[in-house]
Amino acid sequence: MEIWINPACSKCRSAISLLDAEGAEYTVRRYLEDVPSEDEIREVLDRLGLEPWDITRTQEAAAKELGLKEWTRDDSSRDRWITALAEHPKLIQRPLITADDGSAVVGRTEDAVRDAMARK
Q: DSSP for the chain?
A: -EEEE-TT-HHHHHHHHHHHHTT---EEEETTTSPPPHHHHHHHHHHHT--GGGGB-TTSHHHHHHTGGGS--SGGGHHHHHHHHHH-GGGB-S-EEE-TTS-EEE--SHHHHHHHHH--
Q: Indicate which residue of 1, 2, 9, 62 is catalytic.
A: 9
For residue 12, indicate whether it is catalytic: no
State the catalytic residues. 9
